[in-house]
Amino acid sequence: MLITGTRKGIGRHLAETYARRGYIVEGCSRGAASFEGEGYTHTEMDISEEKAVKGWISGIARRHGRIDCVLNNAAIASMNHVLLTPAATANRMLAVNVTATMLVCRDAAKVMMRRRYGRIVNFTTIVDPIGLAGEAIYAASKSAVATFTRIFAFELGAWGITCNLFGATPIMTDMIKGVPKDKIDAVVNGLAIKRLGSLDDCVNVCDFFINPLSDNITAQVIYLGGVS
Amino acid sequence: MLDRTVALDIVLSTLRDAVDQNGGDPASVTEETVIVGPEAVIDSIGVVSLIVDIEQRLEMDHQVSVTLANDRAMSQRNSPFRTPAVLADHIIATESEGLAS
């Protein structure tokens, strides 16, 4: 199983959880690993670099001969009004959130095609459907991931590979630690289930999508909290 | 460094498998068999499969990691995938230009 962005937050929790359950987990992030565990291998890399992704996935394919699941969690956000957002910030967000997702999907799917089996889960966000002010570029990048995922699912269907989307509600991770509490409260109060998301909520959705029995579930999105 | 003869053998072998799976005659595949376009022996999805299968064989059997649908390929006027001979040349060029990782 490949999981991107595993140094902290949701990615780290997913990596620790699945490694503990016996999966062979290959994780990556820009920085060094923040934890160690049996069954977990960490790679430091810039996931938006095509050669880095190719080399990472080639190495995994050579070591293990297969890839069953990909959880594309890595992302960066920058909460800022569009009128105060530099082009470099927008481009970096698109590179990490969109291009990197495409690269990991592309190269992992090539390995999955050998066995005509694969489960890919790409991470999106509720800030796209709820239209949260201050997150325009981040939401736009995740909207691109959503469109990419739905179409990629159709491109992969013939090879038994599913590709789905997961959108979490706010979870207390580093990504939102700088967001004012009243902003978070306003988002939570607009949900059907009025609570923050939890790390185990994320595991639960991933469990469903990566289940071998979910072979007829593709191009779908699941949001937490009642968002649709 | 990959030898062109080896590259060509991989392309021909992979294409013959694809043609065979489509109910065609694998023995009819030569260096000049058309892979893309109106006269192609496989359809567009077959081309995708073929390119990925070739990449995977290069990777697993020869430890050569290449992305054949690269910027070099996409910028050419004529497809580098059009025949086994041309595709073998493209594999060698891609590797030698350091496009392999």
The Cα of A214 is separated from the nearest Cα of chain B by a number of Å equal to 24
Q: How far apart are CA A152 and CA A158, in angstroms?
A: 11
Find the domain containing A213 and state its range. Answer: 2-226
Total domain count for chain A?
Answer: 1
Q: How far apart are CA B86 and CA B80, in angstroms?
A: 6
User: The pTM is what?
Assistant: 0.91
Put simply, whether A66 touches B (Cβ < 8 Å) is no
Q: Are strands A69-72 and A2-4 parallel, antiparallel or unpaired?
A: parallel
Which residue type sits at B28? Answer: S
In this predicted model, what pLDDT tens digit does every residue of A123-139 receive, in sequence order?
Answer: 999 999 998 888 999 99
Interface with chain B: mutation pick from A51, A57, A64, A106, highest number of B CBs within 10 Å:
A51
Chain-centre distance for alpha carbon A196: 18
Q: How far apart are CA A160 and CA A64, in angstroms?
A: 20
CATH code of the domain covering residue A178 = 3.40.50.720
Per-residue pLDDT of chain A (228 residues; tens, 9 = 90+): 999 999 999 999 999 999 999 999 999 999 999 999 999 999 999 999 999 999 999 999 999 999 999 999 999 998 889 999 999 999 999 999 999 999 999 999 999 999 999 999 999 999 999 988 889 999 999 999 999 999 999 999 999 999 999 999 999 887 777 778 888 899 999 999 999 999 999 999 999 999 999 999 999 999 999 999
Write A110-113 long-range contacts (CB < 8 A, 24+).
A110/B52, A110/B55, A110/B56, A111/A57, A111/A60, A111/A61, A111/A66, A111/A67, A111/B56, A112/A66, A112/A67, A112/A68, A112/A159, A112/A161, A113/A159, A113/A161, A113/B49, A113/B52, A113/B56
Interface ipTM above 0.85: no
> A89: which 2 tokens?
């910030």
Please, what are the domains in chain B? 4-96 (1.10.1200.10)
The Cα of B60 is separated from the nearest Cα of chain A by a number of Å equal to 7
Q: How far apart are CA A218 and CA B7, in angstroms?
A: 36
